[in-house]
Amino acid sequence: MTGLTVSGTVRDKTGNVTAWSASTDVSAGVKFGRNFASGTMGVLPAGMQVPTARIYFQPGDFTGTAQPTWTNQSLITEALGRGATSFVFSMKDATAAAMTKWVAFLRSIPAAYKANVWCVYMHEHEAKLRQGSLTFAQYDAGSDLVRAATQGEGFKFGPLHNGLNRNTADTAWIFGNYVEPTNLALCDFWALDCYDDNAKGAASLFFSATGWWPYAQATGKPIIIGEYGTPTGPNQATVAAGMKAECLARPQIKLVHYWDQWFTGNPDYRMTAATQTAWLG
Amino acid sequence: MAAPTATASFSKAVYTPGETMVLTVDHADADRATITVSGTVTDTTGATGSFTASALIDEGTVSITDGGGKTWAVQSATRNRTVLTATA
C-alpha cells in the first residue's frame, strides 16, 4: 500500500503561480497482521513476521504525566521486532492538552513509517453510543479534534466502527447502522472491527449483500479491518483462510488484523499454529 | 494582475497496481479572456476578403513538480482544465 500525493503549479502569463496537490492510494496488496497488546496473547513462533500491527492506547495515555513516544512503547517495539511496517493506532483522549502529547507522539514516529501509520479516535464508538456512555456530539467533536491534529502532522485519520460486535444486543443495533463523524469526507480511510464468532465464514457474513462490505465499499475510501477473529479450534484456520481470501480479492481493503487474544468474557480467539500459518505465513 | 486558482482531484480514492490513474487539474484566472479580432481587407479593385484571429489572454500553464515516481502524460488541455494520466 502506498499513499500517493502529486503536486504542481499553474502559472499565468504575468508570472503568478498557484500551487495545487491531490492525493490517492495505490494498493500494493492487502497486508495481514495482528494486534499487539498486553494480556493473554497468542504466542507466535520465532521468526514469524507480522507486516501490520494494531495497537491501542488506553484512555488517559495522553492526559497523564508520561509522554508516549515511538521508542518508549513496548508494544511498538515488539511489533517492529516482528517486522511490522504498517501501524494502526487508536486513542481515546480528545482534549486540547492531550493533543499536545498526541502530536508529540506523532512527531516521534520515524519518517520512513509515516505513510503507513493510520490513526483512529474512539474505536467501536457505536457500542458506546448505544450504551449511552458517549453522545454523538462528544464523539463527533472528539473525532474532529483528533483528525485535525493528526492530519496536521501529515498522518492519516479515519473512523473505526463496530462491524459485528461480540455482544448480540450490540450487534442487532450496530450492524447496518454505522454512525459516521460529520467530517467523514475529510477522513482518509474507513475502518471497522468484525468477528466471526460462529464460524459462518466471511463470504456469507461480511461480504454478502447484507454484510458490511457493500456499505464500506461505497464510501470509496481505503478500508482497514482493525480486528478480525474466529474462536480457536480445529476449524479456525479454514475459517480464517476464507476471510483472507475474501480480503485479497478486494484491493480497497488495505490492512487486516487478527485479534490474537483471549479477553475475559469473550471467546478465545488466539490463533492455532495452523491459523498462524494460514494468516501470517 | 490576478493569480490563478487551481484545484486537483483523482478519479478514485484507491487504485489497483496497473490501473490508469486520472488526475484532473481545474484552474481559472480572473484576467483570463479570449479576444477575437475580425475584419476585412479590400484591394484596389474593390475585392474583399475577411479574416478572424483569436488570442487567449493570461493563459495558465499546468506543471507537475512531484509525481511520486510516476510518469504523467497530458491527455487533454483546455482553457480551464488539464487532464493527466499515469499508471498506478
Residue in A136, A151, A149 with CA at minimum distance from that of residue A96: A149
Average pLDDT over residues A132-146: 97
Q: Which residues fall within 8 angstroms of residue A264, CB to CB, at 6 or more apart?
A: none
- Smallest CA–CA distance, residue B26 to chain A, in Å, is 10
What is the structure's pLDDT at A52?
A: 97
What is the structure's pLDDT at A127?
A: 84
**Does residue A16 belong to the interface with chain B, where contact is any CB pair within 8 Å?**
yes
**Does residue A19 belong to the interface with chain B, where contact is any CB pair within 8 Å?**
yes
B9, B11, B14, B32: best to mutate for the A interface, most A CBs within 10 A: B14
Residue in A163, A90, A173, A180 with CA at minimum distance from that of residue A131: A173
pLDDT tens digit sequence for B30-58: 999 889 999 999 999 999 999 999 998 98
* DSSP summary character for residue B38: E
Residue in A79, A84, A102 with CA at minimum distance from that of residue A92: A102
pLDDT tens digit sequence for A184-228: 999 999 999 999 988 989 998 889 887 889 889 999 899 999 999
Strands B81-87 and B20-28: antiparallel
pLDDT tens digit sequence for A144-162: 999 999 999 999 999 999 8
Answer yes or no: is pLDDT of A3 > 80: no
Q: Is A19:B66 a contact under the CB 8 Å cutoff? A: no
> ipTM of the assembly?
0.82
Q: Is A237:A205 a contact under the CB 8 Å cutoff? A: no
- Smallest CA–CA distance, residue A170 to chain B, in Å, is 31
Q: Which triple of cell numbers denotes residue A194?
A: 468484525
B23 to chain A: closest CA residue = A22
pLDDT tens digit sequence for A51-107: 999 999 999 999 999 999 999 999 999 999 999 999 999 999 999 999 999 999 999
Residue in B31, B87, B68 with CA at minimum distance from that of residue A5: B68
pLDDT tens digit sequence for B52-63: 999 989 889 999
What is the structure's pLDDT at A1?
A: 46
What is the structure's pLDDT at A173?
A: 58
- Cα angle: A166, vertex A172, A178; to 5 degrees: 90
Q: Is A11:A233 a contact under the CB 8 Å cutoff? A: no
* DSSP summary character for residue B71: P
Report CB contact under 8 Å: B65, A11: no
Considering only CB atoms, which chain A residues are within 8 Å of B79? Answer: none
A24, A25, A217, A223: best to mutate for the B interface, most B CBs within 10 A: A24
Average pLDDT over residues A7-22: 90
- Smallest CA–CA distance, residue A236 to chain B, in Å, is 30
- Helix and strand numbers, DSSP H then E, in chain B: 0, 8
Written in H, E and C, the secondary structure of A52-66 is EEEEECCCCCCCCCC
